[in-house]
Amino acid sequence: MYDFTTPAAQHVADSLKWRKYAGRDVLPLWVADMDFLSPPVVTAALAARVAQGIFAYGEPTETAVGALLAAARRDYDWTIEPNWLVPLPGLVTGLNVACRASGDGDVITATPIYPPFMSAPQFAERRLIRLPLRETRPDTGSHWEWDFDALDAVATRGATLMLCHPHNPVGRQWTPAELQRLGELAEKHDLTVISDEIHCDLLLEPGARHTPFAAISPKLAARTITLMAPSKTYNVPGLGCAFAVIPNAERRHAFQKTMRGIVPHVNLLGYVALEAACRDGMAWRSELLSVLRSNRDEVVRALDGHNGLRVTVPQATFLAWVDCRDAGLQHPQHFFEQAGVGLSDGADFGAPGFVRLNFGCPRTTLDSALARMRKALATL
Ligand SMILES: Cc1ncc(COP(=O)(O)O)c(C=O)c1O
């Protein structure tokens, strides 16, 4: 019913992803936005708002907040009070503010990880503890888990734990049992938890449901700063609209105080997109998930086991984590770029020898990219 076949992003002049390789025959499968058109309900709501012709400083309307709260109840069975919300122009802003507003002790982050999880603690002048996820190797790809014993051992009292839920780049949807265990350790060591849930509406298994970390219990909610946004799911990252959910008043005030004078108002078109997506985006999202599931399966089929590559099968996100350590490549990202496919370098995520492949694109683009990668590997 919706268009997931027209390669939309390459036709716009201002796409960061496509501009990187402008004038070169390189298919960009790197930065995490999708090449699909946004849902028609979102585009129509934006067009109607643009037609009003006035773009004052924005405030979230009652209807936007209402749509957001209703979506949280519908999708996660999570009741959010309106006063827990703090609007933000982006999730990375939220990660940095949260690191600066949650004490000065250690910050623990599980690697490999989206790079701002390593830079935000450093910008906040806090000691960063990298805790490697534990890798096991099932028949296909790799499986990644928290090392709870190691977390228990490194956690210092009052530290901050950064959770990426689902986890970019390994695509894990953390289970309620895993969240529960993290919660026990958070209680034991009196941790603040920053939970980045930007990918939580991109669960690829049919019928899968997201459990926000803060929804596990009111006690855990009180120590958690949850960060969310419509940007990944509905492909509107350029509209700069995200939010924090901070139930505990003291933590929320510390967060807001840290934002003062630095963090700008949210783009009002972002609120318009958020409202339309939360209220009316379900049918589009469900088709998107089928397309992504099929693309994911194709990436695994085409690359896993090919010339020593191992593809972690993502349970969520539109990102595949590819282990090239056994493929005999000096620098995998350069190698595939030379072959005409622009991927993200695993080294930026704390894991040299890996690449991250963005499969949020029409099948024709993906098929060309996978064919180029296989052809290049065949020459080794
Ligand atoms: C886990 C995670 N958090 C945050 C972001 C970026 O968020 P924003 O563009 O809202 O700053 C990304 C983008 O890839 C991400 O994967």
Nearest CA among 52, 51, 12 for reference residue 34 = 12
* Model pLDDT for residues 158-193, shown as the tens digit of each residue: 999 999 999 999 999 999 999 999 999 999 999 999
Domain ranges for the chain, please list them: 9-40+282-378, 54-280
C-alpha 166 to ligand 1 mean position (Å):
12
CB count in 10 Å sphere of residue 135:
15
Which of 271, 250, 242, 282 is CA-nearest to residue 102?
A: 250
How many other CB atoms are there within 10 angstroms of residue 213's CB atom? 26
CA atoms within 13 A on the CB side of 245: 23
Q: Looking at residues 215-244, what average pLDDT do you find?
A: 98
Query: Is the CB of residue 237 below 6 angstroms from any atom belonging to ligand 1?
Result: yes
pLDDT of residue 180: 98
- The backbone torsions φ and ψ at residue 316, rounded to the nearest 5 degrees and listed phi first, read -155, 165
- pLDDT at 51 (0 to 100): 98
* DSSP helix, strand, coil percent of the chain (3-state; round to 5): 40, 15, 40
Instruction: Tell me the CA–centroid distance for residue 107 and ligand 1, in Å.
Output: 19
Q: Residue 32: CB within 6 Å of ligand 1?
A: yes
Ligand 1 contacts CB of residue 291 (under 6 A) = no
CB atoms within 10 A of CB 285: 16
The span from the CA of 310 to the CA of 305, in Å, is: 6
Helices (H), the chain: 16-19, 40-51, 62-76, 91-100, 116-123, 148-154, 176-188, 218-221, 249-259, 268-280, 282-303, 332-338, 363-378
pLDDT at 368 over 90: yes
**Domain 9-40+282-378 classified CATH 3.60.70.12?**
no
Query: How many angstroms separate the CA atoms of 348 and 114, rounded?
Result: 8
Share of the chain above pLDDT 90, in %: 95
| Residues across the chain | 380
pLDDT at 142: 87
| Ligand 1 close to Cβ of residue 196 (< 6 A) | yes
pLDDT bracket for residue 255 (50, 70, 90): very high
Distance 342 CA to ligand 1 centre (A): 19
Widest Cα–Cα separation across the chain: 60
Q: Per-residue pLDDT for 10 more than 90?
A: no
Q: Which residues are CB-contacts of 296 (< 8 A; sequence separation ≥ 6)?
A: 204, 313, 314, 318, 320, 359
Q: Which fold has domain 54-280?
A: Aspartate Aminotransferase; domain 2 (3.40.640)
Q: What are phi and psi of 234, to 5 degrees?
A: -105, 10
The protein residue with its alpha carbon nearest to ligand 1, atom 9, reads 90
Q: Comparing 9 with 104, which gets the higher pLDDT? A: 104
Confidence band, pLDDT 50/70/90 cuts, at residue 377 = very high
Which tokens sit at 195? Answer: 């939970």
In the predicted structure, residue 7 carries a pLDDT above the cut 90: no
Given a cut of 90, whether residue 9 has pLDDT beyond it is no
Give the pLDDT score at 141: 85
Task: Share the mean pLDDT of the chain.
Answer: 97
- Predicted confidence (pLDDT) per residue in 256-275, tens digit: 999 999 999 999 999 999 99
Q: What integer pLDDT is reported at residue 140 of this predicted model?
A: 83
Q: Given the DSSP bridges, would you call strands 160-164 and 143-145 parallel, antiparallel or unpaired? A: unpaired
Mean pLDDT in residue range 249-261: 98
Q: Which atom of ligand 1 is nearest to the CA of 93?
A: 11
DSSP 3-state assignment of 265? Answer: coil
Measuring CA to CA, which residue among 134, 112, 130 is closest to residue 178? 134
Q: How many CB atoms neighbour CB 140 within 10 A?
A: 14
